[in-house]
Amino acid sequence: MYNSLRMRDIASQIHPQTNLAAHETVGPTIMARGEGAYVYDDDGKQYIEGMSGLWCAALGMSEKRLVDAATRQLNTLPYYQNFAHRATEPAIELSERLLKIAPVPMSKVLFQSSGSEANDTAVKLAWYYFHAQGKPEKKKIIARNRGYHGTSIGSASITGLPHLHREFNLPLPGFLHVTCPHFYREGRPGETEEDFSTRLAEELDALIVAEGPDTVAAFFAEPAMGTGGVVIPPKTYFEKIQKVLKKHDVLLVADEVITGFGRTGAWWGSQTFGLEPDMITCAKALTAAYMPLSAVLLSERLYAGMKAQSEKIGVFGHGYTYGAHPVACAVGVEALRIYEEDGIIDGVAALGERMAEGMLPLAEHPLVGEVRGVGLMWGVEIVRDKRTREAFPADMQFGIGIQNRAFENGLVCRSLGTAIAFAPPLISTPEQIDAVVSRFRDALDRSLDAYLAG
Ligand code: PMP
């Protein structure tokens, strides 16, 4: 059974973000079931899901209230669309709840199914808005190196990771990238965090001026970067960046696909890091990953502009078949209820402290250059030489080795660039958080032994 499933997988599926050739020999690990913060493979081996899947299964793997919410809606109205004046109650209720908890006043919500679609939509809304303002040439998008915003043609263009671009003829023209705000890697000798932030804000200002402010529509940023290796913004960064954006009337889009719904210890990363966005994109924990759903929240200023344009030209020409899917929205409503009723967000602040107590001492480890994190998203920077901060060459796949040893220890974590990332479910117990740290520490020790043994 096990072998035949593995062979059927190799014969039939392409796995995203996977070495396709290696997969034919490595094969899949088949996950069979989940319970709370644990997943079990088809041999029955237990793992702590230290990444919440892809940063998304915030309420773990067996939240019955979400299953019941989906089942109720499936039995009532399994599908309807919201094109052309149609609506369903779950979508209405979820919109209201999102507007109520939004970190800054927001006017309307537009639903899609994935984070990539939400970011594509936000680009299109920015373009639509500036068309409405009589500025159709104001359309360039600026984002950061190592930012992650998705893999559709538009959202991959916003993403700042070369391996998502090279062979795909991306980014599209008009999508630009500035320096990643990672002080440890990008800061200069003698520079303080605040100086670094000033330099990056000046870089952004210079780029907008060089391109022409009338050609730049929006700046996309994750409040804390996830897939780029968990990058926590340096002190005063967003304060200075937002001044530049305001000066040039460039919209700020906060990509809260990972940071939304508690991951940083507040409802939104925008609250933790002081962002006042014009649009917010969110997904993942919106439904705790039990159904695919994403949303764009937009300000009254944007909505008013869009409405005026639509009034002039007719139909607002955008939308997806499964946007505002009623089953997904019903699950979203229930997830938001759980976050609120069960005090999940406050719980993250406490669990985050526990995680910090375990994680920060790892900075002493010979293989660790930096430990960084907020709430329940953490990154450990792996270095070959602590003094020079030299990373291991990419072709050594050293991070993958650590990730694999952690996996042997029953811990799912993820090698991302030169860091190892952690994002355990928000419902983890303190003991599970301790186990994340101890299983990882053991993987680090064994990786060091293997390296020293040559
Ligand atoms: N934005 C961020 C910050 C993300 O982390 C991701 C997914 N990891 C996306 C967008 C894209 O979401 P999806 O994979 O659902 O398209």
What gap in Å lies between CA 415 and CA 443, rounded to an integer? Answer: 13
The ligand 1 atom nearest the CA atom of 54: 8
Answer yes or no: is the C-beta of 114 below 6 A from any ligand 1 atom.
Answer: yes
CA distances (Å), origin 183, targets 32, 187, 236: 40, 5, 12
Of the CA atoms within 13 Å of residue 228, those in its CB half-sphere come to: 26
| Phi, psi of 304, rounded to the nearest 5 degrees | -60, -40
- Chain centroid offset of residue 45 CA: 28
* CA gyration radius, the chain: 22
Atom 13 (ligand 1) nearest CA = 115
Q: What is the pLDDT of residue 1?
A: 43
Answer yes or no: is the C-beta of 327 below 6 A from any ligand 1 atom.
Answer: no
CA of 117 to the centre of ligand 1 (A): 9
Atom 12 (ligand 1) nearest CA = 115
Contact call for residues 51 and 284 (beta carbons, < 8 A): no
DSSP class of residue 232 equals P
Answer yes or no: is the C-beta of 144 below 6 A from any ligand 1 atom.
Answer: no
Contact call for residues 239 and 275 (beta carbons, < 8 A): no
Answer yes or no: is the C-beta of 220 below 6 A from any ligand 1 atom.
Answer: no
| Phi, psi of 361, rounded to the nearest 5 degrees | -65, -15
For residue 139, give the H/E element and its range.
none
CA of 177 to the centre of ligand 1 (A): 18
CA distances (Å), origin 122, targets 82, 250, 305: 18, 13, 14
CB atoms within 10 A of CB 312: 8
Strands 108-112 and 294-298: antiparallel
DSSP class of residue 226 equals S
Q: What is the pLDDT of residue 98?
A: 98
Residues with Cβ < 8 Å from 29, sequence gap 6 or more? 41, 407
For residue 235, give the H/E element and its range.
none
Tracing tokens 């053991």 back to the chain, one arrives at: 442
Contact call for residues 258 and 53 (beta carbons, < 8 A): no
What gap in Å lies between CA 87 and CA 95, rounded to an integer? Answer: 11
Binning the chain into helix, strand and coil, the percentages to the nearest 5 are: 45, 15, 40
What gap in Å lies between CA 262 and CA 97, rounded to an integer? Answer: 15
pLDDT means per 10 residues, the chain with 454 residues, are 81 95 95 98 97 98 98 98 96 98 98 98 98 96 98 98 96 98 97 98 98 98 98 98 98 98 98 98 98 98 95 92 97 98 96 98 98 98 97 96 98 97 98 98 98 92
Q: What is the pLDDT of residue 339?
A: 98
Answer yes or no: is the C-beta of 227 below 6 A from any ligand 1 atom.
Answer: yes
Output the DSSP codes for 300-329: HHHHHHHHHHHHHH-S-----TTTT-HHHH
Strands 279-282 and 294-298: antiparallel
Contact call for residues 335 and 288 (beta carbons, < 8 A): yes
Buried b (16+ CB within 10 A) or exposed e, 381-419: bbbbeeeeeebbeeeeebbebbbebbbebebbbbbbbbb
The ligand 1 atom nearest the CA atom of 152: 16
| Phi, psi of 327, rounded to the nearest 5 degrees | -70, -45
Ligand 1 pocket test target in 120, 148, 253 with most atoms within 8 Å of CB:
148
Contact call for residues 285 and 58 (beta carbons, < 8 A): yes
- From 375, 427, 402, 412, select the one nearest 49 (Cα to Cα): 412
For residue 231, list its beta bridge partners: 225
Answer yes or no: is the C-beta of 52 below 6 A from any ligand 1 atom.
Answer: no
Answer yes or no: is the C-beta of 150 below 6 A from any ligand 1 atom.
Answer: yes
Answer yes or no: is the C-beta of 257 below 6 A from any ligand 1 atom.
Answer: yes
Answer yes or no: is the C-beta of 414 below 6 A from any ligand 1 atom.
Answer: no
Residues with Cβ < 8 Å from 447, sequence gap 6 or more? 367, 398, 401, 402, 405
Q: What is the pLDDT of residue 3?
A: 66
Q: Is 265 helix (H, G, I), strand (E, B) or coil?
A: coil
CA of 191 to the centre of ligand 1 (A): 32
Whether pTM exceeds 0.95? yes
- What domains are there in the chain, each with its CATH number? 2-62+343-452 (3.90.1150.10), 66-341 (3.40.640.10)
CA distances (Å), origin 116, targets 28, 83, 129, 159, 426: 25, 20, 20, 10, 23
